[in-house]
Chain A
Amino acid sequence: MTNSFGEFADAKMFLCIGTNMTEAHPVASTFLKNALRKGAKLIVVDPRRQPLAKLADIYCQIKVGSDIAFLNGLMNVIINEGLYDKDFVENRCDNFEAFKAKIMEYPPERAAEISGVNVETIRKVAHMLATIKPAMLCYTLGITEHTTGKDNVMSTANLQLLLGNMGMPSAGVNPLRGQNNVQGACDMGALPNVFPGYQKVIDPAAREKFEKAWNVKKLPENNGMMMPQMMEALVDKKVRAFYVFGENLANTEPDIRKVEHELSSAEFLVCQDIFPTETTRFAHVILPAASWCEDDGTFTSSERRVNRVRKVKNPPGNAKPNWWIFKEIARRMGQEWASNSGPEIWDNEVSVLAPALGGIKYSRIENDGLQWPCPNTDHPGTSFLHRDGVFTHGKGIFNPVDWKAPAEVPDKEYPFVLSTGRRLYQYHTRTQTGRSGLDFLMPEETADISVADAQRLGIKPDERVKVRSRRGEVEVRARITDQVPPGMVWMSFHFREGSANWLTNAVYDPATLTAEYKACAVAVEKV
């Protein structure tokens, strides 16, 4: 997030696109609702009329995967009616002309045709965004989990640049991260192209820095593989050993059949986890790990805030802290690492090596955490980025992007579009919530379908239906709801039986390799 949760309550306007905040980030949504009570405006763009949509001043029910067409059409109106922040665009941004030329290809009529939102509504949204400023743009995986995910993200940034909604409180582009520490895992360099602190592995100077710090002769100089590539490489044996730490890939990745084929092809699979999972079934070695509450460390939240996590109990049996396990493997492979606890690793390594984290030390985050960038120990942390329109590369850059349809669209045989996500009462593959009593509130998966489709297919509430895609089929109860438009099915991936991932399509954004969880084609029938 460029901005912070603390700014929600004072925001004047929100544009929420592809975020089911009341279920996926409930506490964030309470601050948004508080702002609405004080008169803030809300525009919601989402294929589903989810709870946030019901609170919106304007709700745009776009078709699945039409985000860029919608946003480009919106920006077309904003540019053509001269509603954009000319000062910001001229003085703080680059590449406006090329961007404008692209936007001109998306008159609102074309945007309306692709997105299903009518021209008047598109204009109304443009006018509201132009009159009430700044607006906070919030998104979640509804933007990223598409084959055009990266372009979707750029499109949201284009809009905020155009409106000058950057570099001030209660503005910005705000992706709400789904898991407690996705932000942190990225910051730590658990990515194939960057060291901790986003220092590129292809940069010789960065490599030299880390070679010195880690006391090794030569660090690898090419970007590594991303997760889907690793898994495909298990099949052709290019990858012979696969080390899976805490992920239940057999349930979370698209097309379970394909994933399980890949996992079962591994010559040597190491799983490090707190529970046996569907993934550990394929392991050759399982290493039992300490969980939350059993180790001292930090999580970094969506708002770049490094928060303390504390140990209050010992791990069960012989389970060990994860950092210890990695350290022990390193030792057996010839390297002795000095740090011997979470706090030592952070204070003596992470915050020394990642410039944006330089000022964050355990002694400073006993109470509230600190938000990076925080370059030195006198720095108070940063609640919003790009202050006064100063960007990392000097200016904000417009990126012209084109709309493309999802990889698989409905047809005669598979006439519904399936979109997926999380529900309030469960979390991921239920390894945690399923063992905490939350099944009481959500005991099984459902296929959410519209009233119109239910009537047409003669499906009654709670009746069992079969949902089929080119990859698999599941049998679940139907949940008939006004949240879902005709022609759409919505499901989550919390329950193994009935998981949407038996159906989802393993196609990816070419740059980020994010899978298209939000769109594939399915058929629905009564059983």
Chain B
Amino acid sequence: MKITINGKICEAAEGQTVLDVARANGFYIPTLCYLSGLTPTGACRICVVEVEGMRNLVASCSAPATEGMVVRTDTERVLAARRFIVELLVSCHPLDCMTCEKTGDCTLQNLAYELGVTASTMVGEKYDYPVDYSNPFIVRDYNKCILCLKCVRVCNEIQGIEAIKTIQRGFDTKVATAYDTPLQESNCVFCGQCVQACPVGALTERKAKGLGRAWETRKVRTTCPYCGVGCQLELHLKGEQIVKITAVEDGAPNKGRLCVKGRFGYDFIYSEDRLTTPLIRENGSFREASWNEALDLVANKFKQIIAESGPDAIAGVSCARSINEDSYQMQKLFRAVIGTNNIDHCART
């Protein structure tokens, strides 16, 4: 079927929403509560558009595309509606963007900027919740929560954990664990999916604090170093420092999801305990050595043992954590150079 968006005729398929078609054709429509892959709720209404023949503005995330539909995404009426929503949100927001972890990557900040919403437009009541710093991974500042409920939905519908939900009503509505306890006293598994979903500074990575602004970081895709699922990670880096890790949206196999180890288990590479120089045992303790000395020692000892006892007197195990290329090299060393098939790894664990 065909629909018209801002004068352009666009191809649309059965089951696509107006938002899907608009985005596929390069039109910008902002969203706050929308989550790809989940049923849209249409709750935040920031994605409204004007549809010819309809009296009210339509939430594009939940409006199915229909044959011949004529849509406008940028009329003054649309912008005014969006501006009103953002003004309401800003009116009860702390506006400490200068020190907020989310600055530069905050949907609310971006919307206020592009719609020309300033702090002074409306003055509303603010929240006064204590900020939860009680765990080392997730900072929860519900003063900044815009109640898009993405966190609740990813926790329940994507991760299937059901650690958080909304409590109270009206102005006092708040996202919380079952008994409003800290996360570590709930069934939360610290996957951090809620943090990745949060469009504002309400949920942020504690380890990232102060390490770098969104515009200062480069993103590098890599693979998780833990279990055999092979989740695709996006490292947010400033220099050599990982500021935080998020999942690659739509990447196979994890489609934007991670667990606690993949998201938060990375600092070991910076540990003070790292081995930094070859060590050789001497009189019961280790002394530092150069690569030349250490490698000569290994090669000579191997040669000596081969000469005296044959190559099968040498055996080795490779590492199931390291890259393929390393295991390839090690088995090649054993087979082609030493001359033994005594090469294995912990394939069985």
Contacts and interface: CB of A to CB of B under 8 A. Distances in A.
Contacts of B328: 188-189, 196, 323, 345-346, 349-350
A151 interface: no
B343 to A, nearest CB: 6
B25 interface: no
Interface string A185-223: 111111111011000010000000010001010111011
Interface in B236-269: 237, 240, 242, 251-254, 257-262, 264-269
A452 interface: no
B313 A437 contact: no
B337 interface: yes
* Interface of chain B, main secondary structure: mixed
Contacts of B259: 26-27, 424
A4 B341 CA distance: 32
Given A287-B294, A309-B223, A298 B341 contact: no
B283 interface: no
Contact of B324 (A319, A350, A435): A350
B228 interface: yes
Interface string A204-244: 00000010001010111011111100100100001111111
B105 interface: no
B175 to A, nearest CB: 20
A302 interface: yes
A333 B302 contact: yes
Interface residues of B, number: 108
Interface stretch (B82-90, B144-152, B156-164, B166-174): B156-164
A432 B346 contact: no
B341 A299 contact: no
A474 to B, nearest CB: 19
B97 interface: no
A325 interface: yes
Contact of A224 (B279, B315, B345): B315
A275 B271 contact: yes
Contact of B221 (A24, A230, A367): A367
Interface residues of A, number: 144
A214 B100 CA distance: 57
A323 B294 CA distance: 16
Contacts of A435: 267-268, 271, 273
A485 to B, nearest CB: 22
Contacts of B227: 24-26, 176-180, 427
B274 interface: yes
Given A25-B228, A181-B321, A305-B252, A293 B315 contact: no
Contacts of A476: none
16 contacts: A37-B160, A180-B227, A242-B316, A270-B298, A305-B252, A308-B222, A317-B274, A320-B291, A321-B326, A323-B326, A326-B333, A329-B295, A329-B302, A346-B325, A368-B252, A517-B349
Given A33-B159, A227-B344, 11 more contacts: A27-B253, A185-B320, A185-B324, A224-B343, A230-B342, A241-B315, A243-B315, A268-B301, A297-B324, A305-B252, A307-B230
Q: In the A-B complex, list the 8 residue pairs whose CB atoms are closest, starting with the nearest.
A: A317-B276, A301-B230, A297-B323, A246-B319, A224-B341, A177-B228, A33-B160, A26-B259
